[in-house]
Every structure is written in C-alpha cells, then in structure tokens.
Amino acid sequence: MNFFALLRSSSASTARTCSRRILSEAGPSRPLVQLARQQRKFNTSTVTDYQTSQCASHPRWVNKPQLPPAVETTEAGEGHDPQVVRLDSPEDGQSPPDSSAPPSSSSGSSGDGSDGSSSDSPPPPPPPDPPAPTQTSISKQSIPEVYPQVLALPIARRPLFPGFYKAVVVRNPAVVAAIKEMMRRGQPYLGAFLLKDEHADSDVITDINSVHEVGVFAQITSVFAANTGPTAKDGDAEEGLTAVLYPHRRIKITELVKSGGAPATAMVEPTEEPQPEAPEQQPTPPTTPEPVEKELESSDKPEVISSPALLQTEFLHSYDISVVRVDNLATQPYNKDDQYIRAFMSEIVSVFKDIAQLNPLFRDQITNFSINQVASNVFDEPDKLADFAAAVSTGDVQELQDVLESLNVEDRLRKALLVLKKELINAQLQSKLSRDVDSKIAKRQREYYLMEQLKGIKKELGMESDGKDKMIEKFKERAASLKMPEPVKKVFDEELNKLQHLEPAASEANVTRNYLEWLTQIPWGQHSPENYSIAHAQNVLDEDHYGLKDVKDRILEFIAVGKLRGTVEGKIICLVGPPGVGKTSIGKSIARALDRQFFRFSVGGLTDVAEIKGHRRTYVGALPGKIIQALKRVGTENPLVLIDEVDKIGRGHNGDPSSALLEMLDPEQNTAFLDHYMDVPVDLSRVLFVCTANVLDTIPAPLLDRMEVLEVSGYVSEEKSCIAQKYLGPQAKEASGLKNADVELDPTAVDMLIKYYCRESGVRNLKKHIDKIYRKAALKLVQDLGESVLPEPVAAAQDEKTEDAQKTVEKQDAPSNEPAAKETSVPKQESKEGERKVTTAEREPLQVPETVHVRITPDNLKDYVGPPVYYKDRMYVKAPPAGVSTGLGYLGNGSGAVMPIEATAMPGKGGLTLTGKLGEVIRESAQIALSWVKSHAFELGITKTEDEQILNDRDIHVHMPEGSIGKEGPSAGTALLTAFVSLLTKTRVNPDIGVYDSRTHPDSVAHVLTSTLAMTGEITLVGQVLPVGGLKEKILAAHRAGIKTIIAPEANRPDIEENVPESVKTGIRFVYVEDVREVLREVFRDQPIAERWKDTLQ
C-alpha cells in the first residue's frame, strides 16, 4: 500500500484550497467576472509552475511555446455584452463544488475527506488584478461541466486517458485556425477520439464510423508552431501546430454535427439548462462503507452559472473542421473497499513494482504519477490507477481503447491489469535478451583482456611470439620444398614480406594469409611417376570395360608415344556417346592405367566464369577456379582431369564459361594459365584432360576444335550380355547380400531382359533391372526362410556400450563413485519417445542354407521385373499393303529403331499431309520424294503420257507411327520415296518368303509372306542417295527385329564394314546404292511391273 508514497500534490491541493476560499469569501454579491479574474490569476501562476516542472522532466516540451491568449472580459457598456467564461470546476478532473456546501468546509480541504488535507501548506495570498483587459493567455481554465458541441480531433495509434498529458501535431490549416480562434476566445476545449484505422492520419472526421465513439474531453494547455515539412504555394513552409492536450473526462459521440468539408447541420446550442448529470468520479456513494469522495455542503456558497449558452461554439461552424455533439460518461458507482477492486489494485501495484525494476523509463513515469496524484493513498482512486496503467503501457490499441470505454471500475481494473501483464512479459523478455547480450559481450571482453595480458607476459618473458613468426616460418618451409617458377617466387616473397608488417587482427592480413596458403599448396614442380607399360594398361582397361576398342587403342597410342619420348604432354580427349556407355568410368580407368591422380568436375549447367577462372581476391570469400582446386587436391602437376557434361555448359550474366575453357584446354595457351585469384601463371601442359559429351551439336566450335573427339557408340546385344554376366551381375549379387547364396541369373534371361526391357545403347538401365532382380530374389528368400534360420533378437547388435543418448549425458555428469548400470544381453525393444539407441557392434549377417537354390529364367523373369516394355519389333510381320515401307531411325537415347512409313491417297486438291510429330527436315525430305515421283511419273508407269499430270485431284497423307516420339532427320528419304511409288503404282514392297515360327505355330508348315526389308539414306531432288549417321545403332535395331535385307548409301560402306560387329552383320544382306533407281529395282525386283521399268530406270 505504501508503493506510491508521494501521491499527494502540494500544488494541486493549494490550488483547490485557494479556489474554494475565493468562492466562499465572494458571497452572492460579488460579480462573477471578478471571481473569474482572481481564479484565472491563480491558475495562471499555478499551471505555469506546473509546466515549468514538466518541461524540466520532459525536455521535448521546452520550445518556448506561445501561451494561448487570455480570456478577454469587457465590462458592460455601450453596445457591448460582457463575455463570460464558466468557472464551475476549479480543478482538472474534480467535480464542481456543491452550492449548498458551507464556506468554512471548503477552505483548506482536499475535497476527499482524507486525513492528508491538514498537511497541505497554506495557500499563497491572492494575486493582484490584471493591469489591462488584454491580459496574456492562461494555460489552464475552469472546466465547464456541460459542453455539448466540441471540435472533434481524431487521434492516431493510441487513445488519450483522463489526467495524462499528450502532445499532438495538427497539420490541417482549418483545424489550426480553429484552435487559434478557440485559444483567443478562451475556450481551449476539444474532443479527442481514436481512429479505428491504425494507418490513418487525418485532422478531421469525415465519417463517424471512422473513429471510436468513446473519447476524452481535453483542454489545450499550450500550443506552439511546428514545421510539418512540405512547402506551400507561396514558398513558405506549411504551417502546423503542436498542441499539448490535457484530458479531463470521458465523452461519447452522439452526433456528427459537422464533418470536414461539409456544411454545418447545427448552429447554436439550446439555452435551456440541461438536466444535471452525475459528474465523473462522483458516483452515488453507498451507505456503508464511506463513499469515494464526499460532497461538501454549504448553503452560503455562491451559485455558479452552468448554462452552456455561456460557452458559444457557433464560430466553429465557419471552419472546415469536424464538430460533434457529445455526452459525458461518468464512472459507475463503486465501493473502493470492495475486495475485488482492492485485489486488482494490489496486483496492479505489484506489477508496477516488477516493471519498474526492469524498465527505468517506467520507474520515472510512476514517480511523476505519484507526485501529481491528489489522493494520499493510491487505493483511494482505483479509476485513476487503471487509467494510469493503460496510459503508460505500450499494449494493443484495441485493448487500450477497451480500458477507456470501461465505465465499471472493476472491469476497467481487470482490463488494465491484462495490459500491464503483457507489458511485464515484454519487459522480462527484453531484460533477458539484454542480459544475454551483455553476458556475451562481457565474456568476449574478458577473454580479450586476459589474452592481451597473456601475450604481454609471454612477450616480456621471451617465451613465445604472437604466432606470426610461426606462420611465416611455415610458409617458408612449404616454399622450400617446391620448385616455384621465378615469377611465382617473386610474388611469394612480396606477399610474405607484406604479411610480416601487418597486424594479425587486420582484415588484409587474413586475405594475405589465405593467398599464401593457396600459393604454397599448388604442387609446383611435383608430379606422379607414370607407368608406360602397354600390357599393364591393356589389362586395366579390359578389366574395367568390355568393348570400347577405339578408346582403348587411343590410350595405348598415348602410352606408346610417352614411352618412346620419355615424357608425355597433356592431351584433350572428348568422349562422345549416348548415356550409359561408360564415358565417365573410362576416365577413371585411364587414370589407373597411367598411374595418375584422378579429379572430376562437371560443368553441366555452369553459368559463372569464376568457377573456371576463380574470383578476384578483393571479394569476401574468394576462391580459385576448379582447375587450381584440382591441383591442390591431387598434389601433382600431371593428374587426369575429367570435365563431365561439357556439351551442357550454360551461359549467364556472369560470362560465358565455355569461352573460359578455351585458355585451359588449348595446348598453346595452358602452359601459362592465369587464374583470377592466383594471378600468377600456372602450367597445365602436363595435365591430361578428358571431356565427355552426349552430342557435339551444342559444343561451341572453337572449343570443339581444341579437342580430339572419340565416339563411344552403343553396345550390341552380345556386348551387353557379356557386361551383364561379367560385371553387372556379380556386383548386384554382392550388393544384395547374396554373394554366398546359390542365386543364378540365367543367360537366356539376360538376353530376354536386353531384348524386351533394355534396348538402349548403354547399360545403365540394364544395371537397374539386374539390381532389381537380385533385390526381389533377396526379399523372397528372406520371406521363405522366415525367422527359423536367424531370429531377429539373436541377429540384433549386442554391445556393452549400447545406451540411450540421454542416459549417456546423465552419466557424464554423475559422480564417479556411482556404480554403472547393468546392461542386459538382449537390447530393449521399446524406448521412450525422444531417446535413441547407439551401438558400435556389427550385425550378424544371415547365412543362407546350401539347400536353397534360386534360378531366374525367361519363364519367371516377369515375376521380378514386371511385364515387357517392348512387345514386338515390327508392326508388319506379314507382307505390308501397298503404300507402306520400312525405314531405320536413331533414337535420342542412343539406340536404333525400325520405323514403318505409311502413305495413303484420298480425293482432294493435290495436298500433302504429314503426321507423327515430324520435324522440319523430315518434312522437307517428304516434299523432295514426292516431287521426284511426280517428275518421273511416266517413267514409273504411273501416267500413260509424259504430259499427263498426277495428284491434281487427290491428296496424300503420310504418317509415321508412335506419334508421341519426335522424329527428325533426312535419313528417311529413300523410305518415303519407296512408300510414294508403292502407293501410286499400287504395288507393295517386295516381301520375302518365310515360314511360321515353330514356337507359335508348332503344327503348321505353311509358308507366309513376311516383310524383312528396311532402308535408310538421304535423297536429293535429282535422285542421288547421300550418307547418313547412326548406322551401327540402326543395324543393331534391324538385327534385333529380324530384318534380312538393308538398303544403305554406298558412302556408308566403310563405316558399316569397320564398326558393325560381324555377329550383327551375319544373316543380313547389305545393298549399297547411290541412286534412288537402284533402290526401286531392289524393292520391286520380283514384281511383274518391274519388267516395264527396265528400259526407263537404267
């Protein structure tokens, strides 16, 4: 209860005492104007002293504010009525004295009946009358009890509370002018209402719903000019006003009489005296206990005029401002001795104490409140305590407004306590954060101080230096073991000398130290010894890869040249081929065959030149490029560096990395490669660069010109079968835990897997399927064996050190004399949530019994890998109809395919329609083929005369099946021309005679016509057949589909004879042609119509 020991204000008590003394001494005969003058004099001096003290504690108010003009009083005379100011309430927030109160009871009384009134100092003598009616302004006037219409000023961000000052800035010129006029007239009163929109900022109310209806009736105690920023049209700064408001009581808007920019709806208030209302803080007291404040009764006290007509507000309607009609809101009657009220107040005082200990600013505000409080004890005025709690807190705006709108004291105290509790939580959090930061800073300062002392002591004793000497000695030792070139040695000495003169804490010292670290970690003059044994290299390459004869021969040539010269120079080899053929893995094999160190980095999607050339040292966190990092990693000057996915390198706003590779991969320039970070020449001539790519089209021409391209073609079925049985099968078997189990993948199942599941050129997809087969076999084996062979508790890991992580921490903190917990032989099957088990023991593997045998054959292959992906190789097993031919294509995954071409004619206007997701080049090939057929229609027997035209009234539609797959390229030219000739002559392509497959028709020996002829080649408009690419993959697809005859360009004969394995060419008849006439003779050689073409097609 004694927390607010200074809750009594001597100045306020003196003002109240003197005011009542003046009123009691005046009697009914003294004029009201004279009373107003004396009261104004006293209030002027008292409030001026109060403002002086407030300005001392709040420096933001010290601006030498202009006091508002005085209330001019003119004696009744000729043509003039006296202007009278109401003086009903002598003090802020106090109810007007009762006219029936005796004069003797008001003198020296505090108005609340408390014992502390006797301790007030006697009031000063009344000041003399003013010398002139133009007396300067007063800061505080008697507060009118009834003020129905007031200027409405919207307030942003937080509401005002009675009894607590608030400075506001007014920018609206009309509002500024109205306030000045109010001050001049001596009526400095307005209503302050909180805006509902937190982001709104306006000085007028245009809509009554834009503000909260409950606000405060405030008095303007002082005003002074404020420069609000933008200039007016005349060039002067826009005039603003800073007004200090002192709220007196709560009010409520009942009507928006005049909004900003709208005409007035009401002029002058009615002159009849309103019904008396219960003034604020004067509720009807209960009989017991004592009321909060007693009314002083005096029948001799002069009557105070309370008519609102004396306060004219009609002049406000001439300004473009907001005027509202308001009603006073009185606090509901309460009993200050109520246990709930006292409990709330005690808790609020307790929270105040806690916050004051954490927040010094809060402590100052509480002190000011204690000094300015009227009651001797804070528990005598619970309503003011609630308002103070809300006024000083920084809570939610809506919560503060709820406190303002609460007229029930208990409810107001409850809401204020809630706001204060949140304020306490925020203060505690801020205090905790502040303590944490202070502790960290103090710890660092203490460590720094002790380290500096330790350095000083060691330096005085000569025990140890600051560490710089050791660092410099380390760099010198590293440099001594390297064969640095002369330019590099010079740069090293300069940087080392600079480091010696730098302070260790300097930022430049850290940059120099990192640079010297990189400079001394590059293997200058150090290289790994190479193995030039041809036999060793041959064994390593054959051990790691099957096939790839061209690549192996090139590596052997490289080794042979090195053996003859005694040294080798760096080469740039580019391996180009479809995915999954082993381009990346062959790089590792080459490094192992040469006994060189291996480093790989990918440039796929790389868009930053700094990844190749490094960053400049001026950037924070700068690093050298990839090649310098490779030299540091391998520690030799002659590693094998694999640059993967060089065809997928990107280009961005940070430069073109492919251009940066030119300097690194050019044998004429890489002897002095300059990295941006190192800024010294680095010799890369002894590095063997191996690049990989899927296609050559996307590699820039200047970069491609510096490479030696080796094409890595796809594997044939026999090669893939050998790879699966020698490499992929054993690896997958061991990885699945079946190394010692009798699980066998039959070779016929591998062949079926290759034919119907994995037709791509590489073996990556084949490896995935073989891994899946062995995983399925492992699952079935464990499911069949069950728990009978190896129960799970026996196989589980057993470790004496197994324990929960949480218990481990507890045991580390426990005393050493405590006995260790006894471990069980079988681990726990259940553990608490949040705990984990750790162990160092290895799990016992499952031993598959020798009686278990698993065989994967073509019959049960579907159970392991699902249904086949490819069902048939040809659409037309039997002889196709007229207008259909068979071509050969090269797919994007590196494999070939047999592609039928269908053509049909229909009535039309001679148009050509192409479908099947065809590209621009293949469309042009179709146009060329059709034009050749039209120009040779008479020679082909399509027309009877040379002048006769064809296809004037018919359209041709060409379709290539599997429309979801894009098709592009000129190699379908011969097949398209054959389809057109077959369609227009109504002659189908020459079929072969075969028999039914005995596996599908075991009881039939009937012959059947089958289509076993395919072709490829680009054609010209005059009928020449040009070479095409991808012949090996196309022939592999034809061999898989059972094609017996292949028509190919004559220019591709060397490629076919050299690159296509004999096992694939066996059983296939190759027809090499140079002209389309040779194609037609071969395609229609056994047809009767061919006899008519012998003379014309020579």
Phi, psi angles (nearest 5°) of residue 677: -80, -45
Structure-token pair, residue 1007: 């012959």
Q: Are strands 803-804 and 237-258 parallel, antiparallel or unpaired?
A: unpaired
Examine the residue annotation and report whether 1034 is marked as an active-site residue of this protein.
Answer: yes
Neighbours of 914 (CB within 10 A): 17
**Does 581 appear as a known binding residue?**
yes
List helix spans (H) across 141-225.
Answer: 173-185
Quote the CA–CA distance of 563 and 557 in Å, as a whole number. 10
**Does 188 appear as a known binding residue?**
no
CA 666 → CA 625, 659, 688, 708, 754, distances in Å?
17, 11, 12, 12, 41
Please give the single-letter amino acid code of residue 695. V
Catalytic residue selected from 415, 613, 767, 1034: 1034
**Does 512 appear as a known binding residue?**
no
Q: Output the CA angle 169-220-112, nearest 5 degrees.
A: 135
Q: Are 1019 and 1047 in contact (CB under 8 A)?
A: no
Quote the CA–CA distance of 381 and 376 in Å, as a whole number. 9
**Does 580 appear as a known binding residue?**
yes
- Distance from the first to the final alpha carbon of the chain: 127
**Does 384 appear as a known binding residue?**
no
Residue corresponding to tokens 């800061």: 139
Quote the CA–CA distance of 643 and 1066 in Å, as a whole number. 39
Quote the CA–CA distance of 30 and 103 in Å, as a whole number. 15
Find residue 599's DSSP bridge partners.
641
Q: Are 78 and 134 in contact (CB under 8 A)?
A: no
Structure-token pair, residue 629: 């990092």
Quote the CA–CA distance of 111 and 474 in Å, as a whole number. 89
Rg from Cα positions in the chain: 52
**Does 578 appear as a known binding residue?**
yes
Residue corresponding to tokens 């941006």: 676
**Does 231 appear as a known binding residue?**
no
Number of residues in the chain: 1098
Phi, psi angles (nearest 5°) of residue 336: -65, -20
Structure-token pair, residue 1067: 């059983």
E strand map for 552-682: 572-576, 598-602, 640-644, 673-674, 681-682
Examine the residue annotation and report whether 971 is marked as an active-site residue of this protein.
Answer: yes
Q: CA 913, 916, 921, 926: dihedral to nearest 10 degrees?
A: -40
Structure-token pair, residue 773: 């087969």
Q: Are 990 and 1085 in contact (CB under 8 A)?
A: yes
Check whether the bond before 289 is cis (ω within 30° of 0): yes
Question: H/E element holding 514?
Answer: helix 507-521
**Does 577 appear as a known binding residue?**
yes
Quote the CA–CA distance of 371 and 367 in Å, as a whole number. 6
Phi, psi angles (nearest 5°) of residue 869: -85, -40
DSSP 873: S
Q: Find all residues with CB under 8 Å of 1002, minimum gap 6, and list them.
A: none
* Residue 508: strand, helix, or coil: helix
Quote the CA–CA distance of 488 and 494 in Å, as a whole number. 10
Structure-token pair, residue 199: 């982001």
DSSP 679: -
Neighbours of 125 (CB within 10 A): 7
Q: Are 247 and 130 in contact (CB under 8 A)?
A: no
Quote the CA–CA distance of 1073 and 1051 in Å, as a whole number. 9
Catalytic residue selected from 971, 982, 1011, 1032: 971
Quote the CA–CA distance of 38 and 730 in Å, as a whole number. 115
Q: Which residues are annotated as a binding site for ATP?
A: 577-584
Q: Which residues are annotated as a binding site?
A: 577-584
Would you name the residues annotated as active-site residues? 971, 1034
